[in-house]
Amino acid sequence: MSGVDICDTFAAYLRHLRKPVMIPHRAATGPTSAPHLRVGILLARRFTLSAFGNFVDVLRLAADEGDQSRPIRCDWHVLAGDATPVASSSGISVTPDARLTDPAAYDYIAVVGGLLGAPQPLLPAQIAYLHRAARAGVPLIGLCTGAFVLHEAGLMDGYRCCVSWFHHQDFVTRHDGLRPISDRIFVVDRDRLTCAGGVGAAHLAAWLVERHVGASAARKSLNIMLVEPAAAQDDPGHGPQPALPLTLRCTDPLVRRALLRMQESLDAPVTMAALAEDMGIPRRRLERHFRAALAMSPAQAGLLLRLAQARHLLRHSRRSVTAIAQATGFCDMPHLARVFRQHEGMTPGAYRAAGDAPMARSDQTDRSAAHL
């Protein structure tokens, strides 16, 4: 085969990947006549394919024995007013396979969110359908940025919601005065269920499967997908979001949750007493966990997080040093400069001017920790 033929073949393959994908639904041919769990799914414009795929695959693997994908114990449909394919954020499209019929036919209606910049994530008919579902008492699920869609549709008033750490500030900026939860995999608040996306969608789906089908089916799905089960806790979604860019690495889930809370308020650092109260644990217990996991106090760890953010802003933004000091919880520019010099060996201005310094980030963190 010539080089031109190879290129033509590869181009044809890429075009094939871009074709609309139909979600298969074969008639159930198993011992039960009605699925234990039925979910209707609305896809937002430029939806996140990973959140959709992880959520549906848990249902698919739990629905049947082995990997036959028959919708026996679980059933799912992509809902829309017509069969127009919906493009994901990756460019791959999914074709809806069911109309906006009675929402009471489903146990849950899920919204898969996507890129925040996409105009009109859902059509007016889909928004109206969500309101019909809410009035009928059908629980609503927000996957990935689906929490944004539900809130902007007026369906999250008075509810807690979970968003990814990556979109935490976006949510706060859009919805002044609201504090989303970004230190959990997912959050269940009565008849509203939200998750951070990614593998969080798989964990939320597994929680639904455990409730409606059984724990063994939920474990089976996660095991086949090579997804680690969430830490067993009384509170659903209790485990911390697993892939946060923490400057400080540890395996203690309590410490990781605390660090995430600190990251959410770098501009106004929380006191240790307030942090412990917010997490529902005694302050001394929180301090013991930090000492055991990181060999430092919560206050020292919080300072390292603020310095890491200051370094990032100095290298990757045009903000003034004064603005960066305010954004990272320092009293003023001289305060930041004094602490920064103590831990980094140079002023913020010198660090910014140095550009791509040879020092690795991990080395910076280790050296900062040594000064504490």
What are the per-10-residue average pLDDT scores of the chain (372 residues)?
47 40 36 78 96 96 84 95 94 96 97 87 96 98 94 92 78 73 87 91 95 92 84 55 56 82 84 89 94 92 90 86 93 95 94 64 39 44
Same domain? 282 vs 187 = no
For residues 201 and 261, membership in a common domain is answered with no
Tokens of 153: 């549709």
In sequence order, the 6+-apart residues with CB closer than 8 A to the CB of 288 are: none
**Position 166 in a domain:** yes
Q: Judge if 129 and 32 occupy the same domain.
A: yes
Give a yes or no: residue 187 inside a domain: yes
Q: What is the CATH number of the domain that holds 270?
A: 1.10.10.60
On whether residue 170 sits in a domain, the answer given is: yes
Residues 186 and 156 in one domain: yes
- Cα dist. 104→100, 110, 206 in Å? 11, 13, 22
Range of the domain at 346: 245-372
Q: Looking at 163, 191, 224, which one is the last position of a domain? A: 224
What is residue 144's predicted lDDT score, i.e. its pLDDT? Answer: 92
pLDDT value, residue 14: 38
Quick one: 267 exposed, middle or buried, by C-beta within 10 A (0-12, 13-18, 19+)?
middle
Q: Which two tokens stand for residue 242?
A: 């697993």
**DSSP line for 220-246:** HHHHHTTPPPPPP-SSTT-SPPTT---
The C-alpha atoms of residue 6 and residue 329 are separated, in whole angstroms, by 56
Q: Are residues 191 and 54 in the same domain?
A: yes
Which are the contacts of 56, defined by CB distance < 8 A and separation ≥ 6? 23, 41, 76, 205
Whether residue 78 contacts residue 6, with contact meaning beta carbons closer than 8 Å, is answered with: no
Provide the pLDDT for residue 367. Answer: 40
Is 45 in the same domain as 191? yes
Whether residue 253 lies inside any domain: the answer is: yes
Residue after which a domain boundary falls, among 224, 259, 275:
224
- What pLDDT score does 182 carry? 78
Last residue of a domain, one of 167, 191, 224: 224
Here the CATH number for the domain that contains residue 149 is 3.40.50.880
pLDDT of residue 230: 65
Residue 287 domain-assigned? yes
88 φ, ψ (degrees, to nearest 5)? -85, 175
180 with 64, same domain: the answer is yes
The pLDDT, as a whole number, for residue 359 is: 37
Residue where the block lists tokens 């889930």: 253
Q: Do 218 and 250 belong together in one domain?
A: no
- The total of other beta-carbon atoms located within 10 Å of residue 107's CB is 18
- Read out DSSP for 122-181? S-HHHHHHHHHHHHTT--EEEETTHHHHHHHTT--TT---B--GGGHHHHHHHSTT---B
**Residue 6 domain flag:** no
236 in any annotated domain: no
Count of domains for the chain = 2
The answer on 307 and 190 residing in a single domain is no
Pair (214, 94) in one structural domain: yes
Q: Are 286 and 258 in contact (CB under 8 A)?
A: yes
Calpha distance 43→95 (Å, rounded): 10
- 327 and 201 in one domain? no
Residue 218 sits in the same domain as residue 326:
no
Asked if the structure places residue 147 within a domain, the reply is: yes
